[in-house]
């Protein structure tokens, strides 16, 4: 449930508790949690589901994307990056004798979706985009076993984009598809 005020959220929880009781369903408050974003995110009273207190959470995972509570809604990339590096390392360790282009294709097919999932619907700041770009460049360095400071030339001659441009391209495609649905 979403609510702009704590008072209205408590009223919604009360309605849910009453409706659940009418149809003999018990809602477990221990399996529920609350997540707040805004100026007073850390100074909110407890809310109740029936007589049980619902705990406040600092993290929220929605559709596979982790968010952090705070004054502003921020995306938590820690788990995402862990999965990306795990997949990239797995591909590199199992394709020791494969060509570099094969490894690149596998990393683009299996690892790139891990760091680009949902990015077109999120508003990432320049630091977050830079961090994801660094991870993507590190994958290129690992595949091509190069210590070159910049992999831009390598990406250019392979006909590939860096993550910053991939992000912008995905964002533009997202907006185009939204406009098509509106028209």
pLDDT in tens, 120-163: 888 888 998 999 998 988 888 888 776 667 788 777 877 888 88
Residue 90's pLDDT is what?
92
Q: Dump pLDDT digits (tens) for 43-79.
A: 777 888 888 888 888 888 888 888 888 888 888 888 8
Residue 9's pLDDT is what?
81
Residue 110's pLDDT is what?
92
Q: What share of the chain is helix, strand, coil (3-state, %, to 5)?
A: 55, 15, 30
The number of residues making up the chain comes to: 183
Q: How far is CA 40 from each of CA 6, 37, 43, 77, 162, rounded to the nearest angstrom?
A: 11, 8, 5, 24, 38
Range with lowest mean pLDDT among 115-119, 140-144, 179-183? 179-183
How far apart, in Å, do the first and last CA atoms of the chain sit?
Answer: 30
Task: Report, in angstroms and rounded to the nearest whole number, the Rg of the chain calculated over CA atoms.
Answer: 22
Residue 150's pLDDT is what?
77
């Amino acid at each position: 449930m979403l609510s702009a005020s704590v008072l209205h959220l408590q009223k919604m929880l009360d309605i849910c508790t009453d409706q659940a009781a009418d149809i003999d369903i018990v809602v477990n408050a221990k399996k529920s949690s609350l997540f707040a974003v805004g100026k007073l995110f850390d100074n909110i009273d407890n809310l109740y589901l029936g007589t049980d207190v619902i705990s406040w959470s600092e993290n929220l995972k929605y559709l596979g994307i982790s968010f952090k509570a705070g004054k502003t809604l921020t995306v938590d990339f820690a788990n995402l990056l862990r999965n990306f590096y795990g997949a990239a390392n797995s591909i590199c360790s199992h394709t020791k004798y494969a060509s570099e282009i094969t490894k690149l294709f596998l990393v683009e097919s299996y690892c790139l979706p891990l760091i680009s999932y949902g990015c077109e619907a999120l508003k990432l700041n320049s630091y977050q985009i830079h961090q994801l770009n660094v991870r993507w460049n590190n994958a290129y360095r690992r595949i091509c076993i190069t210590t070159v400071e910049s992999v831009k030339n390598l990406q250019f001659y392979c006909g590939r984009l860096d993550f910053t441009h991939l992000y912008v391209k995905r964002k533009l495609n997202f907006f185009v598809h939204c406009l098509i649905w509106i028209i």
